Amino acid sequence: GSIWAMISLPEVINLTLHVGMLNIVFVRVSTTETDRRLRIFHENLKTAEKLQTLDQGSAEYGVTKFSDLTEEEFRSTYLNPLLSQWTLHRPMKPAPTAKGPAPDSWDWRDHGAVSPVKNQGMCGSCWAFSVTGNIEGQWFLKNGTLLSLSEQELVDCDGLDQACRGGLPSNAYEAIEKLGGLETETDYTYKGHKQTCDFTDRKVAAYINSSLEISKDEKEIAAWLAEKGPISVALNAFAMQFYRKGVSHPMKIFCNPWMIDHAVLLVGYGERNGIPFWAIKNSWGEDYGEEGYYYLYRGSNACGINKMCSSAVVN
């Protein structure tokens, strides 16, 4: 788990015993670090309990793979506070509103437009995953092929963004246009840290022509999604550190809609036991939330989910 990433080498003594074919590794961790992690874990349990008690939806909060990280460690490792710096955002053309009224529910996973859940690792590259997810959907809807596209290309080659230190979808679209497109995940695999750009033109698997900013009205967002495909969105992810399952509806005190710090992909919406939700594809692996997905209350602009909706355009 994440605890090992926090330990410096001198604190760890490895004794490897070869027992037949079995390698048994004994790890002794300095007790101060163990104690500190346990204290953090207990504090986090209290926070999860508070979220649980005050949740207005049906979510379950509790122990997750991030439970031994402080809020600050979690933010600086997995989140992207750059998103809240509104002045940095590149203005985009507004998207035309969707034609018809939205169906009651819709999920692009049922229509083949969504690749499997990926894992950004210990790198603030959520912005890249949000954008590739959107483009995967747009490319599928234009060309009928679902590709898994490269986030590492953006981490390495997008000079407008800051790799693992964060980025903005509005910049990423522009960088992709400048580069000429995205390679596939297979051709340009994810490493989770910045490397020298290794992009080659001839390996471009998908391209985009422009990008659009989508309405901040949740009804219009739903209609656009059902008609046009998965949407790159961003939100305040405070409650996500402790989310396990169900429809999350944190109170505003936990989830300031102006403090946006995580980019994700909106793939669908509907109702669960009378609670309206957004289905959100996250990039923290399949062992996060509900098989890699986060479900958030729909209809009250919860956690600022409506503030930063955008999409690439593939002609």
The CATH number of whichever domain residue 149 belongs to comes to 3.90.70.10
Answer whether residue 4 is part of any domain: no
The residues near 8 (Cβ < 8 Å, ≥ 6 apart) are none
pLDDT per position as a tens digit, 151-208? 999 999 999 999 999 999 999 999 999 999 999 999 999 999 999 999 999 999 999 9
Query: How many C-beta atoms lie closer than 10 Å to residue 147's C-beta?
Result: 19
pLDDT band at 29 (very low <50, low <70, confident <90, very high): low
In a domain, 60, yes or no: yes
Is residue 219 in a domain? yes
| 186 falls within a domain | yes
- Is residue 166 situated within a structural domain? yes
Question: pTM value?
Answer: 0.90
pLDDT digits (tens, 9 = 90+) for 251-286: 999 999 999 999 999 999 999 999 999 999 999 999
- Residues classed as catalytic: 126, 262, 282
d(CA 231, CA 310): 6
Does residue 10 fall inside a structural domain? no
Give the structural domain span for 203: 48-313
Q: Encode pLDDT of 66-86 as tens digits.
A: 999 999 999 999 999 899 887
pLDDT for residue 9: 39
Q: How far apart are CA 269 and CA 281, in angstroms?
A: 12
- CA pair distance 132, 172, nearest whole angstrom: 9
Strands 293-297 and 275-281: antiparallel
User: Exposed e or buried b for every residue in 246-279, given b needs 16+ CB within 10 A?
Assistant: bbbbbeeebbebeebbbbbbbbbbbeeeebbbbb
pLDDT for the residue numbered 27: 54
Residue entry with tokens 């034609």: 99
Contacts 24+ apart (CB under 8 A), 278-284: 278/305, 279/107, 279/109, 280/233, 281/114, 281/117, 281/133, 281/230, 282/117, 282/240, 283/117, 283/118, 283/119, 283/120, 283/125, 283/126, 283/129, 283/130, 284/78, 284/119, 284/120
Q: What is the pLDDT of residues 35-45, one digit of tens each?
A: 999 999 999 99
Residues 55, 66: Cα–Cα separation, whole Å: 20
pLDDT at residue number 85: 86
Query: How many domains is the chain partitioned into structurally?
Result: 1
